[in-house]
Amino acid sequence: MQFSHYLFATGLALSISAGVVGQTPRRRTTTRSAPAKAVTPQPTPEPVDRPLPPRGPRAPIALAIVNGQTITTADINPRVREEVESLEERIADTGRRVLELQINTELFEIEAKKRKVSSQQLYNLEVSERVPKPTEAEIKEFIDDNRHQMAETDETRLRPQVISLLRATQEAKLSEEFVRRLRATTPVVMGGDVNSPNLDPAAVLATVGGKPIAAGVIIERLKPAMYKLRLSVYEIQVEALERTIYDLLLIAEANRRRVPPEEIVRTEISEKSHPPTEAEIAKFYAENKARIGKDLNSVRNQLAEYLHEKERQLLERTMSEKLRKGAQVRLLISEPRPPIQAISTDDDPSRGVATAPVTIVEFTDFQCPSCAAMHPVLEDVLKSYGDKVRFVVRDFPLAMHANARKAAEAANAAHAQGKFFEYAALLFKRQDVLDVPALKKYASELGLDRARFDAALDGGAFAAEVRRDMLDGEMYGIDSTPTIFVNGVLLKTLSAEDLRAAIERTLVATSTKTPTK
C-alpha cells in the first residue's frame, strides 16, 4: 500500500466507529476465557463518534411478528431504536467523511510534490514528529473520565491503549490543522453528491488541484465502513428484539398459568442458579490463566460473579427456547452480508499454490492471546484441504501489546530466511516473553542465520512492511485481531466450524464459475 493511503486510513479509523477503549468483543467463538471467550478478537482503541444533530421521531419499523402480534422499534429499548432510526444518516455522514479524507490525502500528495519530498516525509515533518507525548496527568485524567466504559481495570495494562489513543487524537488534530492550511493554497472543487442513489463509479465527486476523485474509489472504500455500521446496529437490534420477544412470551406463559411472571423466573431460573464452587472457579482460572493475567485471589470474586451470571444466562436461554417452541415467531430483519474486498497478498508469507480456488488471509498479532488460540484451529482446518486453499498471513500488531510490532518484524526477518511459519508457531507458544533478546533466541532455536536476522531486526529492515500491513488492514475496516478473510469476505465467527463452512461455500461458488471443458 502506498503512503497516499496513510492519511485516509488513519482518519477513517479515527472518525467512523463509536468504540471505547476497553475490549468490546464482536464475534462469538468456541473457546472460553474470562470474562470473554478466548478467541474473541482484540480491538484497537477508538474515540467516540461525534453525535448527529437532533431530529423528530420516526414512524415505527416492524421488526418481528410473534403469535400474530407485530413488534416494532417502538417496543424495544429507546436507545437501540435511536441507533436503528439514525443508521442511514450515519452512513450518509460516513460517506461525506470518507470523501473529505480522500481530498485531504490528495492535498498531502500535491504539497509533497511541491516540496520535493515523499508523502511520508511530509507527514512526519508536519504531523507525526509534532505529536506531543501524553503527560501523566493527561493519562490519569482520561482513565478517570472513561473508567465506566473500560472492561480492563488494571491501569498498567490500560496505559498502552490510553497513550495510543491520546497520541492518535493529537495526531488527528495536527493533521486537520495542516490540511486547513493546504486548502488555503490548493483549489478544491466539489462535484457530485457522494450519497446519491445509484452513483456512477465514473462520476467525479471532487477535483483537488486539477486532479479528479472518481466515485468508484470512494464506493470501494466505503464498503467495509458501511458493513461495520450496519452489522453493529443489526447486532444490538437483535439483542433488544430477543429481549422483547422473551418478555412477551413470558407474560403470555404467566397468563396461561395464572401466576405472576416473577414466579416463573423464580422457579425456573433463580432457584436453579447456584454460586460456583471453589473447584469450578479454580478450573476456569486454570483454563484461562494466560488471558486473565492476574493471580487467582485478586480475581476470585469477579470470576465467581461471572460464572454465576453465566449459569443464569444459560437457564434463561433454556427457558426462552422452551417458550418459543409453542410460539410462532418470525423475524423481519436479516443480517447484513459482508462485502467482497480485494485483499492484497503480494509478498506476504503464504502456504499453498497461488492458483488455489480459496485464499484465506489472516491479519494477526503475535502477542494477542486470541490469535494464539486461533492458531491451532487454523492449522487443523487448513491441513484437510491441501492445494484447494492458499493461506496468507499479514501483520496487524495492536497498540495495547508493547512487543507485538517488534515480534512482527522478527517474523518477517524469519520469513526472509524461509522459516516464517515455524517462527510464528514459536511466538504463539512463547507469548509471555517477546522482548528483543527472546526474539533473537528463538531465531537461534530454529537455526536461522543470526547475524542476518539480528541485523534485520536491529536495523528495522521490516518496519515499513509491518506498517504497510497495518495501513492496509485499516483500509479493510479491521479493528481487532485475529481478522480473517476467505476470498475477500470477512469471517465473522472465529471457529473451526464456521471457517470450514466458509471454505466449503467458497469452493462451491468457485466450482460453479469454472467453465467445463
Please list, in sequence order, all residues whose beta carbon lies within 8 angstroms of the beta carbon of residue 139, skipping any fewer than 6 positions away: 159, 162, 163, 166
Decide if pLDDT at 25 tops 50: no
Distance CA 129, CA 391 (A): 37
Decide if pLDDT at 10 tops 70: no
Residue 437 neighbours by CB distance under 10 Å: 8
Q: Which of 447, 13, 391 is nearest to 225 (CA)?
A: 13
Mean pLDDT of 60-79: 94
Domain with CATH 3.40.30.10 in the chain: 350-510
Mean pLDDT of 411-416: 97
Angle at 164 between CA 162 and CA 167, to 5 degrees: 105
What is the per-residue pLDDT across 175-233, written as a single tens digit (0 to 9) for each? Answer: 999 999 999 999 999 999 999 999 999 999 999 999 999 999 999 889 999 999 999 99
Mean pLDDT of 418-425: 97
pLDDT higher at 25 or 12? 12
Strands 204-208 and 188-190: antiparallel
Mean pLDDT of 61-74: 95
Sheet holding 483-486, edge to edge: 350-351, 389-395, 358-364, 483-486, 489-490
Helix (H, G, I), strand (E, B) or coil at 390: strand
Distance CA 160, CA 405 (A): 13
- DSSP category for residue 293: -
CATH architecture, range 350-510: 3-Layer(aba) Sandwich (3.40)
Position 144 scores a pLDDT of: 85
Task: Tell me the C-alpha to C-alpha distance, in Å, between residue 496 and each of 29, 31, 307, 366.
Answer: 9, 10, 25, 20
Position 156 scores a pLDDT of: 76
Decide if pLDDT at 475 tops 70: yes
What is the per-residue pLDDT across 280-331, written as a single tens digit (0 to 9) for each? Answer: 999 999 888 877 778 899 899 999 999 999 999 999 999 999 999 989 999 9
Strands 389-395 and 480-481: unpaired
Distance CA 328, CA 338 (A): 29
